[in-house]
A and B are shown apart, each in its own frame.
Chain A
């Protein structure tokens, strides 16, 4: 028996409890959801005959189409806004903050994320509301005479609130990618006579792309599953597909349809994410 014997077996043995846990509590349940989506439910009795009825309904009915399309649109919009705002922040920390202070800045960026999730969303409602912080300030300053009513209970509010929730997750991967850029590349580009804009486009941005892609995926996929934000700040036209999924599983008691909706949403999101990664594959290849 030596120190290194059957290294593979030891690794497998060690990882197996965690892996089995993930199998039992993720793979098996998701498999069950897949099965459920092909069944039907009538109040409490479950009919286990295979049918595509749920999918027909999920993809055919107007209400689901609208919600699905809106969710995808909002998620993409949230992702775009988040990444667009995250980049300059990450760039600032990476290029203009003293190296010694960088960990502190990263910590500062993550702190708001640890405020209670529900309270955070609710406070946006307070900030954006009819008698809220923004309207109050604008009234006081005399900029407006009547409170603005278009800033809450609509899709803009959903985008703003979700972007706020996810921006730390977008900043971090971009920051890490920027940190990895060898500063001598940039000096070389400058030395070769490239101006700041061309230097950014030709050197910095391509090298930071893996971080941007990671940020996009990290924000885009989970965003589709949030049903709290649309419910609290979205108003009737701000609801998303996850609100419908929640409804089917909870109040409407039609779990099979909920399962079909959830899987359809996951499928669409994954497809969009894959297409996005595929379109950017050249940036990923160079770094691997």
Chain B
């Protein structure tokens, strides 16, 4: 990654007495696919709209490509937006929609035509130019909105929950298309989404937001494996939380006594939020051990529930000695023995799969 494209420093945003953003700091790099992820009402859309210029910041600075955007209205910013509702102009044809911004720029008809055609080709809508826009399907509207923004060759493309109105299958197809498109055009994409899977599959980096603050800003792998606190860990994927006694170890490490799993020493990298009070471990990092299998570390427990999902089986296992029930997900393979509710099993885990959380 190279130059910073967007620099956000110390951004506060108030609506009357309500504070929507608290001291937001982030650097989004040029050519990056960046996502703002969080539950509804966390301020992610507000943050996107401050970048677009639809909202003023109450405090702090928005820099785009090195230029401070204070006082620059949305129509003068080098950003373009794909709206959640797509905001396709219903009184214009597809081509007129795509040409809208170029016309506003004062380009001649001769210049506009080829650019519009190219943009429509880019999003797979060649030949749709003369269609009335209100006759389009949801997926087609989405593509028109993309073409209309991309034809402007913005430095940053802002996408506000662009896939939330589509059904599951189309959404998954559009995710990979969007990602491919971003690589092809090399423009910085900033995506707002509440869907953690969508953010993980598409993004180079993700800012997870809660209550107007960025809780963690990392690449998808780090975010999944090393969440900084319980809230982030809970929002992204499934996480088992276990009580723990923590002792400061020698050097950069912690000595943990995890309820139901036992003693372990971990390096401070596995405590990204510092000295926490709970341990997280992902369901797929736990294994139900069969006879003859062994693991770095082992515990025992009783199967309380099991659900069969074809390729996977999910177990709820109560660990011996504590009340904690953990989720374990296992890929089904040929050698798996038949297990029943009530069976006592050995549970395998490794020291590097636990993370200490605030």
Footprint of B on A, CB under 8 Å?
A: 1-5
Q: How far is the CA of A2 from the CA of B49 in the complex (A)?
A: 10
Residues of B within 8 A of A3 (CB): 53-55, 73-74
Q: Flag B153-169 by CB within 8 Å of A: 1 or 0 each.
A: 00000000000000000
Residues of A within 8 A of B71 (CB): 1
Q: How far is the CA of A124 from the CA of B53 in the complex (A)?
A: 63
The 6 closest A-B pairs by CB, nearest first: A2-B56, A3-B54, A1-B73, A3-B74, A5-B56, A2-B53
Residues of B within 8 A of A1 (CB): 71, 73
Residues of B within 8 A of A4 (CB): 54-56
Residues of A within 8 A of B53 (CB): 2-3
- In the assembled complex, how far is the CB of residue B105 from the closest CB belonging to chain A, in whole angstroms? 19
- In the assembled complex, how far is the CB of residue A4 from the closest CB belonging to chain B, in whole angstroms? 6
- In the assembled complex, how far is the CB of residue A67 from the closest CB belonging to chain B, in whole angstroms? 53
Q: How far is the CA of A39 from the CA of B54 in the complex (A)?
A: 57
- In the assembled complex, how far is the CB of residue A254 from the closest CB belonging to chain B, in whole angstroms? 54
- In the assembled complex, how far is the CB of residue A33 from the closest CB belonging to chain B, in whole angstroms? 41
Could you give 5 example pairs across A and B, Cβ below 8 Å?
A2-B53, A2-B55, A2-B56, A3-B55, A5-B56
Footprint of A on B, CB under 8 Å?
A: 53-56, 71, 73-74
- The main secondary structure of chain A at its interface with chain B is loop
A-B contact sample (13 more), CB < 8 A, given A3-B55, A3-B73, A3-B74: A1-B71, A1-B73, A2-B53, A2-B54, A2-B55, A2-B56, A2-B74, A3-B53, A3-B54, A4-B54, A4-B55, A4-B56, A5-B56
Residues of B within 8 A of A2 (CB): 53-56, 73-74
Q: How far is the CA of A1 from the CA of B56 in the complex (A)?
A: 8
Q: How far is the CA of A5 from the CA of B73 in the complex (A)?
A: 11
- In the assembled complex, how far is the CB of residue B75 from the closest CB belonging to chain A, in whole angstroms? 9
- In the assembled complex, how far is the CB of residue B67 from the closest CB belonging to chain A, in whole angstroms? 16
Q: How far is the CA of A1 from the CA of B71 in the complex (A)?
A: 5
Q: Which residue of B lies closest to A1 (CB)?
A: B73
Q: How far is the CA of A1 from the CA of B55 in the complex (A)?
A: 9
Residues of A within 8 A of B73 (CB): 1-3
Q: Which residue of B lies closest to A5 (CB)?
A: B56
Residues of A within 8 A of B56 (CB): 2, 4-5
Residues of B within 8 A of A5 (CB): 56
Q: How far is the CA of A263 from the CA of B55 in the complex (A)?
A: 49
Q: Which residue of B lies closest to A4 (CB)?
A: B55
- In the assembled complex, how far is the CB of residue A187 from the closest CB belonging to chain B, in whole angstroms? 30
Q: How far is the CA of A135 from the CA of B290 in the complex (A)?
A: 102
- In the assembled complex, how far is the CB of residue A41 from the closest CB belonging to chain B, in whole angstroms? 53
Q: How far is the CA of A222 from the CA of B147 in the complex (A)?
A: 56
- In the assembled complex, how far is the CB of residue B7 from the closest CB belonging to chain A, in whole angstroms? 19
Q: How far is the CA of A48 from the CA of B315 in the complex (A)?
A: 94
Q: How far is the CA of A2 from the CA of B53 in the complex (A)?
A: 6
Q: Which residue of A lies closest to B70 (CB)?
A: A2
Q: How far is the CA of A3 from the CA of B81 in the complex (A)?
A: 14
Q: How far is the CA of A3 from the CA of B53 in the complex (A)?
A: 7
Q: Which residue of A lies closest to B76 (CB)?
A: A1
Q: Which residue of B lies closest to A2 (CB)?
A: B56
- In the assembled complex, how far is the CB of residue A7 from the closest CB belonging to chain B, in whole angstroms? 10
Residues of A within 8 A of B74 (CB): 2-3
Q: Which residue of A lies closest to B52 (CB)?
A: A3
Residues of A within 8 A of B55 (CB): 2-4
Q: How far is the CA of A3 from the CA of B46 in the complex (A)?
A: 13
- In the assembled complex, how far is the CB of residue A164 from the closest CB belonging to chain B, in whole angstroms? 41
Q: Which residue of B lies closest to A6 (CB)?
A: B56
- In the assembled complex, how far is the CB of residue B232 from the closest CB belonging to chain A, in whole angstroms? 30
- In the assembled complex, how far is the CB of residue A11 from the closest CB belonging to chain B, in whole angstroms? 15
Q: How far is the CA of A25 from the CA of B53 in the complex (A)?
A: 41
Q: How far is the CA of A2 from the CA of B71 in the complex (A)?
A: 7
Q: How far is the CA of A245 from the CA of B54 in the complex (A)?
A: 56
- In the assembled complex, how far is the CB of residue A27 from the closest CB belonging to chain B, in whole angstroms? 30
Q: How far is the CA of A4 from the CA of B58 in the complex (A)?
A: 12
Q: How far is the CA of A153 from the CA of B122 in the complex (A)?
A: 79
Q: How far is the CA of A5 from the CA of B15 in the complex (A)?
A: 11
Of the listed residues A1, A2, A3, the one surrounded by the most CB atoms of chain B closer than 10 A to its CB is A2
Q: How far is the CA of A5 from the CA of B55 in the complex (A)?
A: 8
Q: How far is the CA of A1 from the CA of B69 in the complex (A)?
A: 11
Q: Which residue of A lies closest to B69 (CB)?
A: A2
Q: How far is the CA of A1 from the CA of B77 in the complex (A)?
A: 12
Q: How far is the CA of A5 from the CA of B72 in the complex (A)?
A: 13
Q: How far is the CA of A1 from the CA of B76 in the complex (A)?
A: 11
- In the assembled complex, how far is the CB of residue B344 from the closest CB belonging to chain A, in whole angstroms? 49
Q: How far is the CA of A5 from the CA of B74 in the complex (A)?
A: 12
Q: How far is the CA of A4 from the CA of B55 in the complex (A)?
A: 6
Q: How far is the CA of A2 from the CA of B55 in the complex (A)?
A: 6
Q: How far is the CA of A98 from the CA of B174 in the complex (A)?
A: 40
Q: How far is the CA of A3 from the CA of B76 in the complex (A)?
A: 12
